[in-house]
Amino acid sequence: MNSPLRSSEVWATAADPELAVTTRGAVPPADVTRAVRGIGRVLRRHHLDAAARVRVTAPVDADEPTLVQANIRIHDTPTRVQVTGPRGFAVTFAVERLDRQIARLATKQSREWPDPARPPLARVTEPRPIVRRKHCALLTGTPAEATAVLDAMDYDAYLFIDAETGEDAVVSWADSLGIQMARQRTTIAPEAPTDRPLTVNSLPVIMTAQPAPTLLEEAAVTRLCRNGLPFLFFTDADTGRGRLLYRRYDGDLTIVIPVG
């Protein structure tokens, strides 16, 4: 019987683009094989000669779901899927999701929300720790451009600089076919495109009624956890910049911090 893999493995074959599979925790070797074969088939089906990076994270508790993330580039555009599932099935779910993602992006079809494969990570808890700080140079663009990144990267929320106002802002998916947008101060909705097909670049934008709250980081953590929010966009009281705090699959938190 093979022992579970606990390190990073890099796979390359003559038939497939290079596939880098990183494992975390007690990941069975069969899951690595499923990832290499399944994602290789998807790339060939869509005629993509692209490298892929896959991360499979096994939980400490065997009853908890396995997390799988796959990153590729489609014609220089970064693309990602992230999904959870039971051991032995999570990789298959990720392969199927990547297949649908590539097909949908090629035709600029908008996704449906809520997504049954990605239920919001919203639950009431005591304050959890911030275990990762992502310092990012933000995109400066329109809500449509930010939504395109939100969609391609399989995010639930995306922090960017709104080109119209110069404010930090967030876009997220809204029920059932639209985009929720929040800016630091301005609550007037951007001008909606007209006479265009309904794609991820022309979904209706719903503005939040209130500006982003100004909070210290500790207060933001408390608000997110005790209100059962999947994410929280706020203005940092110390720096005046927008920040995006969100819950991870393991229940802990990540914060996105603008740089530059």
Structure confidence at residue 1 as a pLDDT band (50, 70, 90)? very low
Residue 5 has pLDDT above 70, yes or no: no
Min mean pLDDT across 98-102, 126-130, 184-188, 191-195 is at 191-195
Provide the pLDDT for residue 169. 98
Could you tell me whether strands 157-162 and 52-57 are parallel, antiparallel, or unpaired per DSSP bridges?
unpaired
Provide the pLDDT for residue 200. 59
pLDDT digits (tens, 9 = 90+) for 125-147: 999 999 999 999 999 999 999 99
Which one has a higher pLDDT value, 249 or 203?
Answer: 249
Instruction: Tell me the pLDDT of the chain averaged across its residues.
Output: 89
Q: What is the mean pLDDT of residues 94-115?
A: 88
Q: What is the mean pLDDT of residues 1-17?
A: 56
Percentage of the residues of the chain whose pLDDT score is greater than 70: 88
Which pairs count as long-range contacts for 222-227, CB under 8 Å and 24+ apart, including other chains?
222/127, 224/253, 225/124, 225/125, 225/126, 225/127, 225/128, 225/253, 226/124, 226/125, 226/126, 226/127, 227/124
pLDDT digits (tens, 9 = 90+) for 26-85: 899 899 899 999 999 999 999 998 889 999 999 888 888 999 999 999 888 899 999 999
Q: What is the mean pLDDT of residues 157-179?
A: 92
Residue 257 has pLDDT above 70, yes or no: yes
Provide the pLDDT for residue 83. 94
Provide the pLDDT for residue 176. 67
